[in-house]
Amino acid sequence: MDKALAELIRISNAAGSDTTLVQGGGGNTSVKTEDRKYMFIKASGTALKDMDGNRGWRRMRLDNVRSIIGQNDLARLEPTKREPEITNRLLLACDDDVKDGSRPSVEAHLHASLDRCVIHLHPNVVGAFVNAKDGRARLDRLFADPQRPPLWVPYVDPGFMLARSIARLVAEYEQQYRRKPAILFLEKHGLFVTAPTPNGALKLVYTVIDRCSKALGKSKRLKINDADPQQVESARLCVRRAFFEATGKYSPVLFFQSPEIAAFAAERNAGAMLSAGVLTPDELVYASGPAQWVEKCDSAKIAGRLRKQMAKGDKPALAFLVKGLGLFVVARPKIAATIRDVVTGSFFIRHHAARMGGIYTLTRREQNFINNWEMETYRRALAEGKSGGDLTDRIAVVTGAGSGLGRSIAIGIARAGAHVALVDIDIAAAAETAEMIQAQRPGAVVAACHCNVTDEASVEDTFAGILEQLGGLDILVNAAGIAPAFALVDLPVDKWRAALEVNLTGYFLMAKYAAKILIAQGIGGSIINLSSKSGLEPSKNNTPYNATKAGEIHIARGWALELGEYGIRVNSVCPGNVFEGSKIWNPQYIRVCAKKYGIKPEEVIPYYVNKTALRQEIKGQDIADSIVFLCSDRARRITGQTLVTDAGQVMVR
């Protein structure tokens, strides 16, 4: 490995693993080769701690990078035209074998003006000063050094204009002090340190952090009192409803609490500090601005505030600090943790900046630049892991998801963009389904959940866990089922009762607790009962299955009548015979069918396929597609209905 690359990985991993230095994986690093012909730099969208010898960096020709800064024709372009052109030119300056399409840091031309090793971070203790109106004066006193003082960089739009500004300021600094600056404080932004060696750069970082930390003193930390789970659930659903009403978008809502969050929420002027404005580009990009202060959860009022934001051209807030409870974040779990870090850092910065002359925030023009900057859109998209489909960001629960049709349905719903709770009494099988989904859709949000659908306490606990993990509920698919096949005179009563418990009681309990959440949430939803063609036309020697599958259709119709006023749709899907991956179509069941029709076991599946009008075998994906349709907005006016997906065997009249 090239020495400069090894040094880059070392300082990146060291800085990126320290949670006091980075929030949400932000920051940049670079190391120039000793001959100063090349520069290894972090790739955009990569967390510092995740960089290794194979990914997370680009090698660039320094002469090509430096030449970009001096091109005055670029400075005259409109930002919307200039910044994409800069991105292209930085890519052209890359000279490596990287094939994953990653971009070099957008600040590469800035790094080119500095010493050999560069570390750029956004530590909260530095943010407190660079976002305070008296911050510069305090830093000047704190780092007073007549031979080599820190360089203060007034706020400039990030990207090309910031790189040009720093190149000019560094040149002026060198002329005055005969050396490059070692420490740069960027107003409303963060910290740069630069040194000839990697150890020197890391040492400088910790010197700055230690000095700023001591000047600020210890922050107040409150003991966290366990929040009432019912209050948390109520607030979560309130925020989710408000966000949906204002934006029309489905999204999980995750809850966070910590001593730092509790301390800020307890401050008398917490609401005023949050209303001061946007602190940094990171707060704007990841959280769409400061957290909203919520005295009391009222979905109509929260939705109204979000609409006002959007009417001004802003993106709707994604973080909500609810008095007495904690922080609620509207985002997928992966990005929600990043937003939590950024917002919690903002709380720290606001607290201290308010005591240093007041909070210094981005102007409206500065915010507009960030919102329209293609680079930040790219960075946010990488962090989120975008996905599309008819059920994008809806939260679904599928029972029996560890095998057979339940597994196929769960996979199909995940392909359609939903976050899926995989419910099964066999947790190992559910975990296997989760692995299958993530292999097909890296980054998919899935949760394997153990649940006995016939036990009310187990069902109630499962839904509480799903809300905590996935942040809401939009869809329930009842797919867990059993099919004890006996002639009437041979049917054991315990097999009859078992079928009633799983196929009817299980459907009832799951629907009961799903409906409670959906009603409280107030944004509609969809419940699907997976029945069977045997629920419409009975099959021989199948008394428990015939009865329960017919019952599932009828209870779905009743639920459709009950829940329609809440916008909750309830439908049934009746599959034909689906053989792949089925626990029902096991060797014993096939032998029973063979005996029933007087054929050989190996002739059973072709026999059933030939009973259909299409003469085609039904696959699990066919059933999943039917369910995706019924849960999507394309079926928004369909409820109380039965969709038969059986290749034309049973004709509904």
Q: Answer for the pair 600, 594: CB distance below 8 angstroms, yes or no.
A: yes
DSSP label at 49? G
Total Cβ atoms within 10 A of residue 365: 8
- What are the C-alpha distances in Å from 513 to residues 238, 288, 341, 520? 17, 33, 33, 11
Residues sharing a CB contact under 8 Å with residue 352, sequence separation 6 or more, in sequence order: 128, 132, 216, 219
- pLDDT at 645 (0 to 100): 93
The whole-number pLDDT of residue 583 equals 75
pLDDT for the residue numbered 281: 87
CA distance readout (Å), 621 to 575, 613, 649:
11, 19, 18
**626-652: b (≥16 Cβ within 10 Å) or e:** bbbbbbbeebeeebbbbbbbbbebbee
Edge-to-edge strand ranges of the sheet holding 292-294: 253-256, 326-330, 319-322, 292-294
Q: Do domains 3-216 and 395-582+618-645 have the same CATH topology?
A: no
Q: Which of 128, 111, 129 has the alpha carbon at shortest distance from 201?
A: 111
* 574 φ, ψ (degrees, to nearest 5): -110, 100
Question: How far apart, in whole angstroms, are the C-alpha atoms of residue 48 and residue 42?
Answer: 8
φ/ψ of 94, rounded to 5, equals: -75, 140
19 SS3 class:
coil
What pLDDT does 443 receive?
Answer: 86
* Domain 3-216 CATH class label: alpha beta
Q: Which homologous superfamily is 395-582+618-645 in?
A: NAD(P)-binding Rossmann-like Domain (3.40.50.720)
User: Cα(626)–Cα(647) distance, rounded to whole angstroms?
Assistant: 12
From the list 349, 216, 209, the residue with the least C-alpha distance to 279 is 349
Can you tell me the distance from the alpha carbon of 260 to that of 347, in angstroms, rounded to the nearest whole number?
A: 8
Residues 6+ apart with CB under 8 A from 171: none
Q: For the chain (length 653 residues), average pLDDT per consecutive 10?
A: 94 90 82 96 90 94 92 85 89 92 90 96 96 96 94 92 93 95 96 97 96 88 80 97 97 95 93 94 92 96 96 95 96 92 95 95 92 64 65 97 95 97 97 96 94 98 96 97 92 97 98 98 97 92 95 98 98 91 81 89 90 90 96 97 92 73
Please tell us whether the domain made up of 229-384 is placed in CATH 3.40.225.10: yes
Q: Degrees (nearest 5) of the Cα angle 137, 141, 143?
A: 115
Q: With beta carbons less than 8 A apart as the criterion, state whether 421 and 469 touch.
A: yes
Q: What is the predicted pLDDT for the residue at 91? A: 93
- Judging by DSSP bridges, how do beta strands 117-121 and 190-195 pair with one another? antiparallel
Residue bearing tokens 């929420």: 265
Q: Which of 157, 147, 141, 37 is nearest to 106 (CA)?
A: 157
DSSP 643: E
Domain boundaries, the chain: 3-216, 229-384, 395-582+618-645
pTM: 0.89
8 A C-beta contact, residue 422 and residue 430: yes
- CB count in 10 Å sphere of residue 378: 15
Half-sphere exposure of 555 (CA within 13 A, CB side): 22
Q: What whole-number distance in Å separates Cα of residue 134 and Cα of residue 153?
A: 15
Contact status, residue 305 vs residue 292, Cβ threshold 8 Å: yes
Position 72 scores a pLDDT of: 85
Strands 419-424 and 446-450: parallel
Positions marked active-site = 545
The tokens describing 429, both together, are 């099988």
